[in-house]
Amino acid sequence: MSSSVEAITVLSSDGDEFKITVSAAKLSKPLNWMLEDVCFSDDCDEVPTIEVNSKTLVKVIEYCEKHAPRANSGASDSDAEELKKWDIEFMKMDVKDILFHILMAANYLHMEGLYDLACQTAADLMKGMTVSQIRKIFHIKNDFSSEEQEQLRRQHPGCSFD
Amino acid sequence: MEEVNNIMEIDDDINEEDRINQLPDSVLALILSKLTTREAVRTSVVSKRWRNLFNSPISLVLDAPNMLETNKYSDMNVSQMSFWERSIVKMKRTVEIMNVVCFYLKSVKEVQKIEKLRVHFTFGNIYACILNWWIHFALERKVEEIDLCLLEDNYFSAPSEGFHVFPCDLLVEISSLKRLCLAYCVLAPGSQLSIFSGFNTLKTLELTKVDLVSDDHLQNLLRNCHDIEFLSFNICWNLHYLRIGHPICQKLKYLNVSDCPHLLAIELKGLNVETLEYKGRFIWFQFHYTPRLRTLFIGLNDWRISSGDIWPLCTLPIDLPQLETLFLENTCHMGAAMYVTRFSYLRHLIILKLHEHEHNISWIASILKCFPRLQKLELHLGMDSYVGEELKDRNCPPRCQHDQLKEVVISGMKGQSSEIEIATYLLKNATSLQTMEMDPRPRVYLGNGKWHQLEPNGIWPRTGRNKVEHYLRQHAGAAVQLLFL
């Protein structure tokens, strides 16, 4: 790629165009490979498609742009603190609606930081919840027969399942 | 990626149901690994698919918050109980965690690889075989990190029997262990005669409140630490002479020795060690050919030292002429000791816990001439609540040019006159100074380059800051950047 390019254009799976700076795109290994392999200069026609829907891609790019300066240069502890607070705020937004898409996107784009953050958020939703509450939060059907359930109870005597 | 693409294409509105079940097992397992083990085990009854998800843990974290019901024991008012009642509760709790862990380990026995085993629970030596079974379980699954802390900080803490003896024998046959952290244990592999080979993959060994039994046992242990890079002894017993020399521990880069009560001497010979941090009483040091040792922390608290003693600073420039970074903590009467020394290559000086004994810190000005190449000076003032009166009739330190000094950091500022005095002195005499940073928050050095920042002292926001700023602006040249945090 030519060194003059600062931002690249990518397509979401819905066909919308998005701009992402080169330094932010480097947070994702597949995007980084694309940067190395494909010509991203201005006269290049090809716009790569990222298999992530528009709604999710907006969030992913927002995360990348915020984290890129620190990932590229390394920063002080106070910056790290600030970034942590930002992460918490970032995950607060419409979590249930979009969290699973972000999880999948972070997995697909090999973005360790975002993947870890999204897993932590999902785990936090389960903390202190009863089994039936967990089922309700994530819309999971209980497909055990009552005998099977009783057997599980016996296998883990130290734990309560209610 | 095929699976991922399909999921991304599913329309949001149609598929509200069961969204979490669309995630691959690897993602769900990682989510569960962020729960406590007790919570993760509970999820196995959520649905059939979830039944075995928790069965592939990457780490085994076996402690009370993770394995026991949160409130079951913490709600008990143990402090009101008699000794016998307390013993019974303690025993019940220990038996319960052993049962829960044994069931848990049986349910995860298919797992091939464990990265970390962590046990933080009060265990004395009477349950040794159970704990050793857990360690064996992890070792069989190629565990890379073991972290045992066998005394908890609560009412259940006091062990009624001896410390657990770490089962070194288990490591001899199978070991891929890279990091071992032990607290409240006995570590004493074999006797002098049998060569202990269990630690030859080990890179990090951190011991806190560990009984090392004898110097010979420790020598036997270190002799086979071929790969060790990080070694730390914090309040370890029965360590008298710490001798590390060629050809053992040739990869060692960092050595920390803190507050070991029996220690008399440290002898380092033919090592590549880069950083040594020592904290504790007066001991003897011998350095023979340690050319890469460039960072040294000396924290001395020994009231037997009188102002006439010039250890350790006097001999340091001879023993370690290559020293570049020096931390000095709480080293009483340093001023007197420093007049005779000269550190030719030292570029970074950090003085910690100032103010602890003397409110006059002007001696710092007089010792700076010992460091002709100093580029960065950090003064970290102590946390005591002393609020000094204006000290008058202080002799101003003689002028002395420090032309290499570019950066000064002063933390824990309260706005006292002695602080202003040293800062003014530096502004006047450091001709190449570029920045001076003043931070009211005291900083505590945690070791290995890590710091902890505390809340600022009370008077700084009200009066301290204005006073300091007023004085220092008068003396600061145009080239100097004054930073008030």
Residue extents of the structural domains in chain B: 23-56, 296-387+397-485
Give the distance from residue A10's alpha carbon to the nearest chain B alpha carbon, in angstroms: 16
The yes/no answer to whether this complex scores an ipTM above 0.90 is: no
pLDDT at B139: 92
Mean pLDDT of B7-35: 63
In this predicted structure, what is the pLDDT of residue B255?
97
> Cα Rg for chain B, rounded, in angstroms?
28
CATH architecture, range B296-387+397-485: Alpha-Beta Horseshoe (3.80)
pLDDT grade, residue A74 (50/70/90)?
A: low
What mean pLDDT do residues B107-130 have?
Answer: 85
Q: How far is B50 from chain A (nearest CA, A)?
A: 10
Pairing of strands B443-447, B450-453: antiparallel
**pLDDT of res. B276:** 96
The two structure tokens encoding residue A24? 């932010």
- Band of the pLDDT at B154, cuts 50, 70, 90? low
Question: Does residue B10 register a pLDDT over 60?
Answer: no
What does pLDDT average to over chain A? 77
Rounded Cα–Cα distance for residues B218 and A68 (Å): 46
pLDDT at residue number B133: 92
Q: Could you name the CATH architecture of A7-128?
A: 2-Layer Sandwich (3.30)
- Give the dihedral sign, CA A47/A50/A55/A56: negative
Average pLDDT over residues B377-387: 71
**In the A/B pair of chains, how many CB contacts fall below 8 A?**
110
**pLDDT > 70? residue B285:** yes
Cβ of B105 under 8 Å from any chain A Cβ?
Answer: no
pTM, to two decimals: 0.75
Residues of chain B found within 8 Å of residue A100, distances taken between Cβ atoms: 19-20, 22-23
The lowest-confidence range among A78-82, B74-78, B137-141, B163-167 is: B74-78
Res. B2: pLDDT tops 50: no
Q: Any chain A CB within 8 A of the CB of B99? A: yes
Least confident of A72-81, B376-385, B412-421, B448-457: A72-81
Interface contact flag, A123 B4, Cβ < 8 Å: no
B42, A52: Cβ pair inside 8 Å? no
Q: In the numeric block, which tokens belong to residue A127?
A: 């903390």
Query: With 80 as the cut, is the pLDDT of residue B334 above it?
Result: no
Chain-centre distance for alpha carbon B314: 28
The helix or strand, by DSSP H or E, that contains position B256, with its residue range, turns out to be strand B254-258
Picking from A50-54, A153-157, B365-369, B435-439, which range would have the lowest pLDDT averaged per residue? A153-157
Cβ-based contacts of B1 with chain A (< 8 Å): 51, 108
Decide if pLDDT at B410 tops 60.
yes
Rounded average pLDDT over B240-260: 94
Contact A142 B5 (CB under 8 A): no
- pLDDT band for position A40 (cuts 50, 70, 90): low
What is the share, in percent, of chain A residues with pLDDT greater than 70? 77
**Tokens coding B141:** 């699954």
Beta carbons of A160 and B103 less than 8 Å apart: no
DSSP string across B70-125: HHHHHTS-GGGS-HHHHHHHHHHHHHHHHHHHHHHHHHTTT-----EEEEES--BG
| Contact criterion met (CB < 8 Å) for A51 and B4 | yes
Which tokens is B189 given? 């592999």
Asked whether the predicted pLDDT for residue A47 surpasses 50, the reply is yes
Half-sphere exposure of A36 (CA within 13 A, CB side): 6
- The dihedral of CA B315, B317, B318, B319: what is its sign? positive
Q: With an 8 Å Cβ cutoff, is A161 touching chain B?
A: yes
Residue A21 is predicted with a pLDDT of: 86
Residues in A touching B107 (Cβ below 8 Å) = 155-156
- Over residues B204-212, the mean pLDDT reads 94
- Average pLDDT (B301-308) is 60
For residue B52, the 8-state DSSP code is G
pLDDT surpasses 90 at B233 = yes
Q: Is the pLDDT of residue B329 over 70?
A: yes
Q: Check CB contact under 8 Å for B42 and A161.
A: yes
Question: Average pLDDT of B60-81?
Answer: 74
Closest residue by Cα to residue A60 from A96, A108, A6: A108
pLDDT of residue B338: 61
* Predicted confidence (pLDDT) at residue B182 exceeds the cutoff of 90: yes
Confidence (pLDDT) at B385: 45
Average pLDDT over residues A140-145: 80
Instruction: Work out the number of other CB atoms within 10 angstroms of the CB of residue B6.
Output: 11
- For residue A38, which amino acid is it? V
Q: B347-364: per-residue pLDDT in tens?
A: 999 988 765 555 566 677
Could you tell me if A132 lies within 8 Å of chain B, comparing CB atoms?
no
Give the helix/strand (H/E) hosting B423.
helix B417-429
| pLDDT above 70 for A45 | no
Collapsing DSSP to helix, strand or coil, B63 comes out as strand
Nearest to A103 by CA among A143, A138, A56, A63: A56
Q: Is the pLDDT of residue A14 over 60?
A: yes
Nearest to B23 among A100, A139, A158 (CB): A100
- pLDDT in the model for residue A26: 82
Answer yes or no: do B4 and A120 touch at CB < 8 A.
Answer: no
Residues of chain B in contact with residue A156, where contact means CB-CB under 8 angstroms, are 41-42, 44, 103, 107
User: Mind listing the pLDDT tens digit for each residue in B40-52?
Assistant: 877 877 887 777 7
